[in-house]
C-alpha cells in the first residue's frame, strides 16, 4: 500500500501540522517484522494545541442543528466508502490481518458503525417534554478519544461518529502501534468538510499523550478502549477534574455449550470465534464450558477445527489467521501457553512457538487446552491470542458459577436451543450475551460489567455517552 505523507504530522485545527517534537516511532508489519512507516510521537505541547483548537471550535459547532451534524457524518461515510480498500490495506499492513478479514471485518466495522449511528440519530428524540420540563440532549464538550490497535476502525467509528452527532469537538489518539488507518480517517474527515478544530488527531504513546489528554482541565470527557490496566490509569488521571470517563476494557468471555446443543457445530463455531482476529478481541469467547460427558467429543472437534486454520501471509486470500500484533504480545501469549502446560491442562493442539513453515512474523499456533480448571492462569488471565481453554462442568449451575467467576464482564456466549439458553443468559454477568453466535448487531449496546468498563457504545447507546442532559423546568407552563 501507499503510506500517507501525513504519518509524521498531526491534524490540528483543520490542517496537517508539524509536531512540536522530532521523536518518531517505526510502524511494524507484524507479519514480516519489517518497518513500513514512521509515525510522529506527540508531547504535551502538541496535545495542548489540539485541545485548545477543540475548545475554540466547540461553541460554534455544538449549536449546529442536529440534522446538519448528521449530514456531516453522512459525508464522512461517503468519503470513507470511496477509500474503503485503502483502509483494508492499511489495517492488513499495520495489524497483519488477512486481507479478506481486513476487508470483510475490519474496514466493514467502520462502515457499519457509522451507518448505525446515523440511523439512531435520525430516530432519536433529542428534545421532549416531561410534564412542564423540556428534556434536552446537548454535546458534553471537548472529548479525548483513545483507541486501540486490535479493531482500529471499529473503535474510531464508534467514538467519532456519535461524538460529532452529539455536538462535541474532539482529539483522537489512535494506537501508536497501528496508526496508519487513523491517519487515513483524519484525511477522510478533512475531505468531508469537518470544520477546523472539531476533529483533531495527535499520535503518541499512552504515558505521554494519553495521560495528558485524560488529565487536561479543558477536556470534558474521555472515551477509552484498551486494557483494564491502562483504563485504571486513565480513570485516575481524569478524577481530579471530575470529567466523564467511558471505558471499554478487557474481557475473559465465557461460552457455555448446553448439553442440548449440537456439540460438533457449537464447538466448531466457538473455536472459529476465538481464532478470528488471531484471538485479539476483547469479547472473544476464550473460555468454553462443556458438559463433562461431552468433553472428549468437544476436544476432538476443537482440535480438528483449529488445525484447519491457515496462518500465514496476510496478502493471500486463502490465509485465515494472521500474526499477533507485536513481539511483546507474542511473548506474552507464549508465556501463558507455557503456564497452561505447567499447571496441568491438557494440550490438545498448538503450543509453544510459531506454526510449521513460518520462521518470521509474530505468528502463534492456534492452541486448544482441555481439562482446564477454573483456578488455572489460562482460565483467569486475558491472553489476547489464539488460545482456547475448555472447562468441563457437571451441572449448568456450576457452569454459570464458573462463567461469572471472573473480574471481567464484557461478553458471554451460549450455544443450544434458544428456549434453553434464555434463562441461562439472564444469570450471566456480562454486558452482551450472544445466543448461538448471532450476526453482529450494531444497534445493540456494547460495554461491560465489572472491570470490563463502564458506559455503552454503538448506535444511540454511544450517542448518549457523549451527551449531557438538561432539564428546563417550567418550559411548558
Which residues form the catalytic set?
Answer: 248, 282
CA gap 415, 270 in Å, rounded: 9
| H/E stretch holding 92 | helix 84-95
**What's the grid cell of residue 264?**
460438533
Task: Evaluate whether 179 touches 27 at the Cβ level (below 8 Å).
Answer: yes
Residues 192, 116: Cα–Cα separation, whole Å: 18
Q: Look up residue 341 and give its three cell numbers.
A: 502446560
**Inter-axis angle of helices 180-191 and 66-82, nearest 10:** 130
Are 86 and 185 a contacting pair, CB within 8 Å?
no
Cell (9 digits) for 7? 504519518
- How many alpha carbons fall within 13 Å on the CB side of residue 32? 13
DSSP 302-326: HHHHHHT--BS-TTSTT--B---S-
Q: How far is CA 18 from the centre of its chain?
A: 29
Strands 453-454 and 244-248: antiparallel
User: Which residues contact residue 464 at a Cβ distance below 8 angstroms, ignoring those fewer than 6 apart?
Assistant: 137, 456
Query: Can you read off the three cell numbers belonging to residue 188?
Result: 477522510
Bridge partners (DSSP) of residue 454 are: 247
Classify residue 346 as exposed, middle or buried by CB count within 10 Å of its CB (0-12, 13-18, 19+).
middle
314 DSSP β-pair partners: none
Question: Could you tell me if 410 and 432 are in contact, meaning their C-beta atoms sit under 8 angstroms apart?
Answer: yes
CA 239 to centroid of chain Cα atoms: 23
Please give the DSSP secondary-structure letter assigned to residue 407.
Answer: S
Report yes or no: 411 and 285 within 8 Å, Cβ to Cβ.
yes
Amino acid at each position: 500500500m501507499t503510506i500517507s505523507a501525513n504519518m509524521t504530522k498531526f491534524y490540528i485545527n483543520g490542517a496537517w501540522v508539524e509536531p512540536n517534537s522530532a521523536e518518531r516511532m517505526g510502524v511494524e508489519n507484524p507479519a514480516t517484522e519489517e518497518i513500513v512507516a514512521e509515525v510522529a510521537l506527540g508531547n504535551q505541547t502538541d496535545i495542548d494545541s489540539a485541545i485548545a483548537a477543540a475548545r475554540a471550535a466547540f461553541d460554534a459547532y455544538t449549536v449546529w442543528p442536529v440534522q446538519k451534524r448528521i449530514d456531516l457524518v453522512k459525508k464522512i461515510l461517503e468519503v470513507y466508502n470511496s477509500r474503503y480498500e485503502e483502509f483494508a490495506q492499511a489495517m492488513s499492513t499495520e495489524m497483519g490481518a488477512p486481507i479478506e478479514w481486513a476487508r470483510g471485518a475490519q474496514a466493514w466495522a467502520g462502515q457499519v458503525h457509522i451507518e448505525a449511528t446515523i440511523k439512531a440519530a435520525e430516530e432519536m428524540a433529542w428534545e421532549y417534554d416531561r410534564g412542564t420540563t423540556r428534556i434536552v440532549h446537548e454535546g458534553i464538550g471537548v472529548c479525548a478519544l483513545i483507541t486501540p490497535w486490535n479493531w482500529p476502525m471499529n473503535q474510531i467509528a464508534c467514538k467519532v461518529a456519535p461524538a460529532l452527532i452529539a455536538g462535541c469537538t474532539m482529539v483522537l489518539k489512535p494506537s501508536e502501534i497501528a496508526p496508519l488507518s487513523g491517519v487515513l480517517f483524519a484525511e477522510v474527515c478533512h475531505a468531508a468538510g469537518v470544520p477546523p478544530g472539531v476533529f483533531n488527531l495527535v499520535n503518541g504513546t499512552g504515558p505521554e499523550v494519553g495521560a495528558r489528554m485524560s488529565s487536561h482541565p479543558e477536556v470534558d470527557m474521555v472515551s477509552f478502549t484498551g486494557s483494564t490496566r491502562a483504563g485504571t490509569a486513565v480513570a485516575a488521571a481524569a478524577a481530579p477534574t471530575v470529567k466523564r470517563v467511558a471505558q471499554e476494557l478487557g474481557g475473559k468471555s465465557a461460552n457455555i455449550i448446553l448439553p442440548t446443543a449440537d456439540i460438533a457445530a457449537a464447538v466448531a463455531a466457538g473455536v472459529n470465534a476465538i481464532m478470528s482476529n488471531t484471538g485479539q478481541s476483547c469479547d472473544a469467547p476464550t473460555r468454553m464450558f462443556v458438559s463433562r460427558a461431552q468433553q472428549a467429543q468437544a476436544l476432538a472437534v476443537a482440535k480438528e477445527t483449529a488445525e484447519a486454520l491457515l496462518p500465514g501471509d496476510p496478502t493471500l486470500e486463502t490465509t485465515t489467521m494472521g500474526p499477533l500484533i507485536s513481539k511483546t504480545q507474542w511473548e506474552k501469549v507464549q508465556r501463558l501457553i507455557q503456564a497452561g502446560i505447567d499447571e496441568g491442562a491438557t494440550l490438545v493442539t498448538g503450543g509453544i512457538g510459531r506454526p510449521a513453515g513460518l520462521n518470521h512474523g509474530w505468528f502463534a499456533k492456534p492452541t486448544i487446552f482441555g481439562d482446564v480448571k477454573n483456578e488455572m492462569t489460562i482460565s483467569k488471565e486475558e491472553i489476547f491470542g489464539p488460545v482456547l481453554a475448555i472447562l468441563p462442568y457437571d451441572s449448568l449451575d456450576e457452569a454459570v458459577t464458573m462463567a461469572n467467576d471472573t473480574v471481567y464482564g464484557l461478553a458471554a456466549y451460549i450455544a443450544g436451543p434458544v428456549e434453553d439458553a434464555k434463562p441461562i443468559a439472564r444469570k450471566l454477568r456480562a454486558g452482551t450475551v450472544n445466543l448461538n453466535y448471532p450476526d453482529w448487531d450494531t444497534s445493540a449496546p456494547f460495554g461491560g460489567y465489572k472491570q470490563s468498563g463502564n458506559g455503552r457504545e454503538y448506535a444511540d447507546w454511544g450517542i448518549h455517552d457523549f451527551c449531557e442532559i438538561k432539564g428546563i423546568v417550567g418550559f411548558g407552563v
